[in-house]
Amino acid sequence: RALKTREIIVANGENIPIPSVSWDDVVLPQGLAEDIRANVSGFFQSRERYRELGIPYRRGFLFTGPPGCGKTLTLKALANTTPFTFITVLNRGGMAEQHLEADIGHAFYLAEKHSPAIVLFEDLDKLVQSKYISLSHFLNILDGLKVMDGVLVIATTNDPGALDPALLHRPSRFDRVWRFSLPKCEQRLALLARKGTRYFSKIVLEEAAHHSDGFSMAYVQEII
């Protein structure tokens, strides 16, 4: 059952209003957004199938790729368009970092309480490399020492190479990995046209798209 309030529950801080980001705001390679959306909705529609197969009803998705290429924006669009509870843990650093293990445990407690739910971990590599959290403790939670029914974990990382292989090579930890690459010319042009058509001619926008190879989407937006 989804919460009536449209907020992302923060396990270690004040709740965050769900941003009004639609899928029209997300410019990704063809098929990527559709594949992610289909997998998210497919998970939440498959409770009975999981039970029939006798497998734990939980999954993990991982978004990888350089900063500014749409990982966080995709999470925002999911949060705004998926009618389930969203829960996250903020990695604040400093003294607050000492409580990360308890904060993560609390996030999963809330997810179980409000199931079906999605737990979000941004910058997973930094989270699990903290000196205040044990990788084995994090893995034990994901593996379900206490079974979490109807919980989907979605994490992001800019540096998948920094993740311990144990996070990726066992079912129900992170089953699917999507790569958010630097945008190709057609993606850059789509964003430039969306943001700049009222100011610039089509020729100018096409020129900017061709000359911005290697830019992240965040930097492409700054061109306007």
Q: Can you tell me the mean pLDDT for 83-110? A: 83
Lowest mean pLDDT across 24-33, 142-151, 159-168, 186-195: 142-151
- pLDDT band for position 94 (cuts 50, 70, 90): low
d(CA 157, CA 124): 6
The pLDDT assigned to 72 comes to 94
Alpha-carbon distances of 27 from 182, 192, 209, 221, rounded to whole Å: 11, 10, 14, 11
Would you say residue 5 has pLDDT above 70?
no
The pLDDT assigned to 1 comes to 43
- pLDDT band for position 64 (cuts 50, 70, 90): very high
Q: What is the pTM of this model?
A: 0.89
Burial of 78 (0-12, 13-18, 19+ CB in 10 A): buried
Nearest to 92 by CA among 82, 80, 100: 100
Would you say residue 169 has pLDDT above 80?
no
Would you say residue 202 has pLDDT above 80?
yes
The pLDDT assigned to 128 comes to 82
Percent of the chain with pLDDT over 70: 92
Lowest mean pLDDT across 8-22, 130-144, 178-192: 130-144
Burial of 195 (0-12, 13-18, 19+ CB in 10 A): middle
Q: Per-residue pLDDT tens for 170-195?
A: 766 888 999 999 999 999 999 999 99
Lowest mean pLDDT across 8-12, 72-76, 134-138, 192-196: 134-138
One-letter amino acid at 155 equals: A
Q: Residue 59 is encoded by which pair of tokens?
A: 């999954």
Q: Can you tell me the mean pLDDT for 187-215? A: 96
Instruction: Specify whether the CB–CB gap between 118 and 82 falls below 8 A.
Output: yes
d(CA 129, CA 127): 6
